[in-house]
Amino acid sequence: MLLLVHLTNMLLGLNSLLYHSTVVPKDNMSQIHLKRSGTTKALEYFDSFYGSYFGAKWEKIREGLLSEPKYCAVINNFGDSVENCAQLELEGCINISDELINVDENEDRNKDSTEVIEKKGIFAVDTEPRYQAINDDDKEEMDMNFGRVIVPSKGQDFSILMDYLPATKIKGGENSAEPLDEMKYFQSCYDYEVKVVKGKPISFPAMLNVYTREKGNDEELPEPRHGVLNTSGYYCMDGASILPVLALGINPGQSVLDMCSAPGGKMYVMLQTMHPSLIIANDASKARERRIRNVLKSFVGNLEESLSTKVITSTIKAEHWTELDAFDKVLADVPCQTDRHSVIENDNNIFKPSRSRERITLPETQSGILTSSVRACKPGGTIVYSTCTLSPLQNDGVVHMTLKGLEEEHGIVCEVE
Ligand SMILES: *[C@@H]1O[C@H](CO)[C@@H](O)[C@H](O)[C@H]1NC(C)=O
Ligand SMILES: *[C@@H]1O[C@H](CO)[C@@H](O)[C@H](O)[C@H]1NC(C)=O
Ligand SMILES: *[C@@H]1O[C@H](CO)[C@@H](O)[C@H](O)[C@H]1NC(C)=O
C-alpha cells in the first residue's frame, strides 16, 4: 500500500487560519476583541513553535498565513463549461492546468508538482520577497525537515501527544512558550521506521479545468452563472483544496472513498476529473452530509442519474468503517485544529466549548480515521492524508503513529511518498 503525505497540508493550513480573523460576531467591539485575542495569540505561538520547526521556511509560510486565501474556480463539466471557461479567460483568469503543463515541458519532469506549483507562484504569497533568498545550506536543512517523519517512542500513547497539542496552549494563551519541548519530543523519538519512497509526478486530469487570478491579483472571481441545465458554472474554492485530489491520482474507472467528505469540495473535484466510477462521500454527521448533497444538487442537479460516476453519500463514523480492502483510492481529509469549515460554521463547530474535549483528542481521532482509511483501501491502493493545520503533531506525528499501529495490530505495511 502506498500512503501519500503531502505538503498540501501546509497550503491548507495557510488558508485556514485566516478564518480566525474573519469570524464575525454580532457586536463590533467583540469583533475587535476576538481578532486580537485569537490571531495574536495564535501567531505568537506559531512564531515560537512553527518558527523553530520550519526554520528558514517559516517566514514565507508566515506571510502566506497572513495573506488572503487564493481562490480558484473549478469548472463544472455538468454545466456550460465551454462558455464558463471562455468567460473566465475574458476576465483575465489563467488556466492552471496550462501553467503546470508548460512548466512540465520545460523543466525536470521528475519534480513533484507541489514544487512546480510553488515555483510558478500561483498559490504563493503575492508580495515580493522581503527576505533574503534562502542559501543552499538552509535549503538542505529545509529538505531534511520535510523529508522526515518523526514519531514518539512509546507506542500508541496518546496522552503524551495530548500534552503537546498546540491547540490547548493557544486556547489558554498563557504559556505560549516552550515550543522547544515539543521539538525535543519530536526529535528524541524514533523507533518505528517509516519507509519513505519517491513518488511519481502528479498529473493533471485532462477534464479538470481550474482558473484563478494571476500572481499578485486578489480580485474576487466573478459570480458563477447558472446555465441551461440550471447547474452552477463553477465552484470557487481554495486552491489548496484541489491538491489532495490531484495527489490521489485517480485513474479512469477507479473507486474512491472520501472519508470525511463534507462540505463536498474535494468530492466535487474528484467528480470533475470524470475518472472515478464510484465515489463514496462519507461524513459522520448528518448535517454535514446534507451539505454534500447540496453540492451535488447545485452542480449536478438532474444529471445525477446519468453520470458515469456513481456518487453515494453515507454517514458512517470512520472508526466504524467495515468495508475492508475495497477502494482503489481513499482520501482522509481529517478534522483538525484549524479546520476552516468548523470555524466559519456554527453548526457542528469543533471550537464550541462543549466540544473542547473532542478537540483535545484530535490526534487520536485523526489516527482512528487514518487507520480506517488504510484498512478500507485495496492492497496497492493509495491513501492521501490531508489536514488544514501546520502542526507536525497532527501531520507527521499522527501518520507515523498510525502506521506503527497498522503494522503491529493489522499487519498492514505502508510506504510514504
Ligand atoms: C457595526 O458594524 C456595522 C456594519 O459593519 C456598522 O454599520 C455599524 O455602524 C457598526 N456599529 C458600531 C457601533 O461601530
Ligand atoms: C487549459 O489548459 C490545458 C493544458 O494546456 C488544456 O488542455 C485545456 O484545454 C485548457 N482549458 C481550456 C478550457 O482551454
Ligand atoms: C434552478 O436552481 C436554483 C438553485 O439551485 C433553484 O432555486 C431553482 O428553482 C432552479 N430553477 C429551475 C427552473 O429548476
* pTM for this prediction: 0.73
Of 95-99, 249-253, 349-353, which gets the smallest average pLDDT? 349-353
Q: Does the annotation flag 166 for ligand binding? A: no
Q: Is 287 in the pocket of ligand 2 (CB under 6 A)?
A: no
Closest alpha carbon to 9 in 394, 368, 358, 401: 394
**pLDDT confidence of residue 392:** 79
* 77 — pLDDT class (breaks 50, 70, 90): very high
Alpha helix segments (H runs only) across 126-208: 136-147, 158-163, 166-172, 179-187
Confidence at residue 149, expressed as pLDDT on a 0 to 100 scale: 39
- More confident site: 55 or 348: 55
> Which pLDDT tens digit goes with each residue over 279-314?
999 999 999 999 999 999 999 999 988 999 999 999
Structure-block grid coordinates of residue 163: 500534552
pLDDT of residue 30: 52
Most confident of 142-151, 337-346, 374-383: 374-383
Question: Does the annotation place 264 within a ligand binding site?
Answer: yes
- Asked if residue 139 belongs to a known ligand binding site, the reply is no
pLDDT greater than 70 at residue 230: yes
Under 8 Å CB-to-CB from 48, ≥6 apart: which residues? 176, 177, 179
Distance (Å, whole) CA 396 – CA 5:
8
Cell of residue 192, nine digits: 518505528
Confidence of residue 35 (pLDDT cuts 50, 70, 90): very low
**pLDDT-derived band of residue 194, with 50, 70 and 90 as boundaries?**
confident
Residues with CB under 6 A from ligand 3: 230, 298
Separation of alpha carbons 204 and 232, rounded Å:
23
Which among 76, 226, 230, 295 is the best mutation to test ligand 3's pocket, defined by most ligand atoms within 8 Å of the CB? 230
Nearest ligand, CA 32: 1
The residues assigned a catalytic role are 388
How many angstroms separate the Cα of 129 from the Cα of each of 142, 309, 329?
A: 18, 44, 38
Question: 95 alpha carbon to ligand 2 midpoint, in Å?
Answer: 7
Query: To which residue does cell 452552477 refer?
Result: 232
Q: Minimum-distance ligand to the CA of 302?
A: 3
